[in-house]
Each structure stands twice: as C-alpha cells, then as structure tokens.
Amino acid sequence: MTELAGARLRRVGVIHGPNLHLLGTREPELYGATTLDGVNRALEGLAADLGVELEGVQSNHEGVLVDWITEEAPRVAGFLVNAAGLTHTSVVLRDALLGVGRPFVEVHLSNTSARESFRHRSLLADRAVGVVYGFGVESYLLGLRGLLSHLDS
Ligand code: DQA
C-alpha cells in the first residue's frame, strides 16, 4: 500500500445536512438534547480510540455539500452522512457521492421509518454500505464503526 493510500484510509468525512445546526433545541423529542457540537465531540472521541481522523461539514445548502464532497474525496477513505431532509429529495447529493467513488454510510438520529411516509424513501440508501437510524447520537457512532469495518474488510 502506498503512503497516500495509507493516509487516506485513516480519514473519514462527516456530513451533516440542513437544520442539523439546530440540534439541541430542534424537536428534542425526535432528535434528543445533544447539540451538533456534542455529536461531533462524541464522534471525535470514538475516532481517537479507533485511530481515525475526521473532517466534518454542516451546511443548509445542497451545493455547498456537493462542493465539499468533491474537494474532500481525494483525502478521505469514506463518508459518514446524515443528509437530513436532503436524504429524501436530493438527486445531486446522491450523484456527488456516487461521482467521487468513496464508500459511505447513511445515518439518522430518528427512526425515519416510523415517521411521515416521505421520510421512508432515501435517495442514498441503495448505494450506501449500510444505514443506521433511530438510535440518536449512537447512530453516528455505530455508523462510523460500520464504515471502518467495511474499509478494513
Ligand atoms: C434526520 C431525519 C430526516 O428525515 C430529517 O429531515 C432530518 C434529520 C435524522 O437524523 O433523524 O433533518 O436525518
């Protein structure tokens, strides 16, 4: 394995979609009381234990996420993605993730299957390595473990 490939294997891009900046105060009965900083801290803690580096973004704008995915892809081994509402609507986010050719895991805090029917469809899930939803912050941690296990396999 080249040095570059080795370095890339140790970095994961974390994508938080629209409205996740409001975590902590946004519909806490659905999303819990943890802020986005809290989610990122929990992820950083696990990443440190597992020897992985994280690079994260939160944006309310689809195009910003597309640009970020394109820029980060050469430096990361895969992506951990909570695309939030874009999960259910965004062809361009799907195209960006498929276009850069990196494996990704889809995560959601809430159990989207137990909510409105428009949340049952994901435009990402069929191309994701796996999907974790309904476990609050733990969904992200399980998703990161799943992605790393996939990358190691
Ligand atoms: C979400 C679920 C989506 O349906 C919703 O639009 C979100 C958050 C979750 O993490 O549970 O913004 O992705």
Output the pTM of the full model.
0.94
Query: Rounded to an integer, what distance in angstroms lies between the CA atom of residue 23 and that of residue 136?
Result: 11
> Distance, CA 1 to ligand 1 centroid (Å)?
38
What is residue 9's predicted lDDT score, i.e. its pLDDT?
52
**Domains of the chain: which residue ranges?**
7-84+98-152
> Distance, CA 123 to ligand 1 centroid (Å)?
13
The topology under which CATH files domain 7-84+98-152 is Rossmann fold (3.40.50)
Ligand 1 atom at minimal distance to the Cα of residue 111:
11
Placement of tokens 């974790």 in the chain: 132
DSSP 65: H
Residues 66-119 have pLDDT tens digits of 999 999 999 999 999 999 999 999 999 999 999 999 999 999 999 999 999 999
Active-site pick, 16, 21, 31, 88: 31
Quote the tokens at residue 90.
């965004």
Ligand 1 atom at minimal distance to the Cα of residue 110:
11
Residues in Cβ contact with 106 at an 8 Å cutoff, skipping those fewer than 6 apart? 81, 82, 83, 87, 122, 124, 125, 128, 130, 131, 132, 133, 143
DSSP 128: S
Hey, whose CA ends up nearest to atom 9 of ligand 1? 108
Q: Which residues pair with 130 in a beta bridge?
A: 105
